[in-house]
Amino acid sequence: MKTLSEIQISELIENLKRKNISYRTDVNLSILSSFKIGGISPLVIEPENNESLVLALESLKQLDAPYKVLGGGSNLLISDKPDDFITLRLSGEFKEFKQIEDGVFYIGAAANTTPTFKKISQMGYTGVEFLSTIPGWVGGAVIQNAGCYGGELFNKTEFVEFIKDGTLHHKKKEEIDYGYRFTEFLRNKDSIITGIQVKVDAGNIEEIEASLKDKRDKRNSSQPENKKSAGSVFKNPSFKDEQGNPIKSWKLIDQAGLRGIIRGGAQISPEHCNFIVNIGGATAADVHYLVHTIRERVLSSSGILLEREIEYFGRVG
């Protein structure tokens, strides 16, 4: 694995200054995570448009500096020591969304998913109300094909734009490999999502408002209240039980006797045991221990190996 030197950081900062690219040093990444877990990054680069993003990537490549892309931090466990790579975080124009025509919107990858799709819904468009309950940024939602309540982002996506090998690419949905909580972007990890275009249908505003409230209420009742977490830790298995019912990860975790287990400042939520919550001072190592314990115990009790849904950002455990 590549390492990061102080000389690389200093030279990179000089490059960023010359190219007028925004950056911050010694950033506590925990404040950028819904888990409120994570250490100090020596350098966070914040490109504000495609041009500055490409220039930043050129500088990173020129100095052979390792980097990782951080989005909204809502489905992520950040390393306790994220100091062996540069953190790249989109800003500026990437936070915007605009209406192209009736029912068609272009959304930047750094736009916040919840308020963006809530606003689109309140403009009188239906079918994306479920996305108003999903935290984080649109770029991360694209990578994982985020969804809930029977809907998923790619149902409404027309195309995705992304940077790969220093070049902007445009790919129609039909050309992208995607499925349940999965896309080729998640598998390959070689692209930076910059934006998407979605197409939605006009609907009845009263029905839309009722749908927004219904999904918000469902979300609030099914998740730990006012707790720091990264959402569902594991994906639901893709098969069914003997009665033909979908198998739920939370139920397997509960049946393994793990509800409420604590490690350091991290706890398997007593309210919803497919959530791990930060009850105060949790570290990435604490959470990783619980993740590992869940996988081992569920495999032992049910024969099912759970697949992690949350992503790790840097070395964890």
pLDDT (tens digit, 9 = 90+) per residue, 120-161? 999 999 999 999 998 899 999 999 998 888 889 999 999 999
Residue 181 annotated in active site: yes
* Active-site annotation holds for 48: no
In terms of pLDDT, which residue wins out, 43 or 180? 43
Close Cβ partners of 220 (under 8 Å, ≥ 6 residues apart): none
Mean pLDDT (whole number) for 16-25: 97
Q: What angle do CA 70, 155, 175 make, to 5 degrees?
A: 75
State the average pLDDT over residues 231-241.
90
* pLDDT tens digits, one per residue of 196-223: 999 999 999 999 999 999 988 888 777 7
Catalytic residue among 11, 184, 271, 309: 309
Q: In the chain, what are the domain boundaries? A: 6-89, 94-221, 224-313
Q: What is the CATH number of domain 6-89?
A: 3.30.43.10
How many helical (H) and strand (E) elements, i.e. helices and strands, does the chain have? 8, 21
Higher pLDDT, 200 or 240: 200
pLDDT for 301: 96
Residue 1 above 70 pLDDT? no
What is the pLDDT at residue 240? 86
Residue 226 in this model has a pLDDT that exceeds 70: no
Question: 94-221 has which fold?
Answer: 3.30.465
pLDDT of amino acid 149: 81
Which of 89, 181, 263, 295 is catalytic? The answer is 181
pLDDT at residue number 252: 97
Q: Confidence band (pLDDT; 50, 70, 90) for 242? A: confident
pLDDT at 89 > cutoff 60: yes
Out of 41, 232, 249, 269, which one is annotated catalytic? 232
- Give the CA distances from residue 287 to residues 2, 81, 132, 262, 297, in Å, rounded to whole numbers and listed in that order: 25, 14, 27, 9, 15
Residues 157-173 have a mean pLDDT of 96
pLDDT greater than 80 at residue 3: no
Q: Do 6-89 and 224-313 have matching folds?
A: no
Interval 32-63: pLDDT, tens? 999 999 999 999 999 999 999 999 999 999 99
Cα–Cα distance for residue pair 272/251, rounded to 1 Å: 9
pLDDT of residue 2: 67
Look-up: residue for tokens 């009790």? 301
CATH 3.90.78.10 fits 224-313, yes or no: yes
Residue 54 vs residues 24, 59, 98, 163, 301: alpha-carbon distances, Å: 18, 9, 22, 8, 49
C-alpha span between 185 and 271 (Å, rounded): 32
User: Is 309 among the catalytic positions?
Assistant: yes
The percent of residues in the chain predicted with pLDDT above 90, rounded, is 84
Whether residue 251 is predicted with pLDDT greater than 70 in this model: the reply is: yes
Model's pTM, two decimal places?
0.90
Please state, rounded to an integer, the average pLDDT across all residues of the chain: 94
